[in-house]
Structure 1
Amino acid sequence: MGDPSLDLQKAINLRLRTDIAAVDNRVFDRVPADVAFPYIELGEFQTLDDGAQCHDGMEVYATLHAWSRAIGQVEVKTIAGAMRGALREAELDLGPDWQFLEIAHQDTRYLKDPDGVTSHAVLTFKALVAAA
């Protein structure tokens, strides 16, 4: 049994590619150098044992990034809202090793990049999973 963050990453990637038309299937783990905007980047993941002795459960924190070069922050905020909506109460398939229990949005930060052109949203989600 591997780390549940990999299976969660795969499930989130599939859900965002399926549900967010604004990025036209541009959801990346490693962003290509010549990528078109807007796009979503699968960022950092952290896995924590939930501490319960009665089951093999884990908390997985997922940080997701949305990037836009449209004027203002309307596009990046719209994409961030769509990301929250796509994952809210989602039933994600983690494969045979992990049982998905739930995912919840923790916070969103909106940033203006120093280049003066790029808008950036950083979203954090917390998922609960258990060994299957």
Structure 2
Amino acid sequence: MSIPPPVSPMLAIQGAIRALLVADSELQSLGVAVYDYLPETVPYPFIVIGEATEVPANAHDRFGWETVPTLHVWDKRQGFKRVLQIGGRLTALLDHQPLRVPGYDHIVTRFEVAQPLTDPEPPGDIRHLVHRYRVLTAQPR
């Protein structure tokens, strides 16, 4: 019996993260929308599921992956308070929490890095928080 060729879980992880975030009542109460692309005009605050990297993390008996998706939180406010609150909620939802990734065994999701930024364009009132997570998955047993 041969093992089927590996298929990247990147799209399944993106869908799993999006489903988790749009279903969260706390993010909904803050008025946070979640996108994997950005329509021309959207109200702040919002989250964009952005780029990702992926490397193999194979085991002896199956294929595995380490996928690092980047989440971007955007807000148009002075100060970082709200983007950091949203970032805190992202970490509460994802870091070391179960994630339902259809077609794959989810092993763990770990918070990796956060970086708050200010958009340099005047008037300087747009805040951007970059969050990355490392998601380990494997072929189902």
Question: How many residues align structurally?
Answer: 131
The answer to whether the 8 A contact 1:60-1:126 is kept is yes
Larger mean Cα displacement after TM superposition, 22-31 or 77-86 = 22-31
The answer to whether the 8 A contact 1:47-1:60 is kept is yes
Deviation readout 1:63-96 (Å, 9 max, x if unpaired): 110000122111111111111111122211111x
1:124 paired residue number: 132
Any stretches of 5+ residues in structure 2 without a counterpart? 1-5
The answer to whether the 8 A contact 2:83-2:127 is kept is yes
In the aligned structure 2, how far is the partner of 1:68 from the partner of 1:25?
Answer: 9
Match of 1:56 among 48, 63, 69: 63
Match of 2:110 among 104, 115, 125: 104
Compare CA radii of gyration and give the structure with the larger one. 2
User: What secondary structure, in the 3-state scheme, does the structure 2 residue paired with 1:2 have?
Assistant: coil
The answer to whether the 8 A contact 1:102-1:128 is kept is yes
Any stretches of 5+ residues in structure 1 without a counterpart? none
User: What secondary structure, in the 3-state scheme, does the structure 1 residue paired with 2:72 have?
Assistant: strand
The percentage of counterpart residues that share the same residue type is 27
Match of 1:33 among 31, 34, 40: 40
User: What secondary structure, in the 3-state scheme, does the structure 2 residue paired with 1:10 have?
Assistant: helix
1:15 paired residue number: 20
Alpha-carbon distance change, 117 to 67 in structure 1, aligned in 2, over 3 angstroms:
same
The answer to whether the 8 A contact 2:32-2:44 is kept is no
Which runs of structure 2 are paired with 1:71-110 in the superposition (5 Å)? 71-95=78-102, 97-110=103-116
In the aligned structure 2, how far is the partner of 1:36 from the partner of 1:70?
Answer: 12
Runs of 4+ with >6 A deviation: none
Aligned-residue RMSD, C-alpha: 1.5
Question: C-alpha displacement at 1:16, in angstroms?
Answer: 1.1
In the aligned structure 1, how far is the partner of 2:98 from the partner of 2:84?
Answer: 24
The answer to whether the 8 A contact 1:112-1:120 is kept is yes
TM-score, structure 2 normalization: 0.86
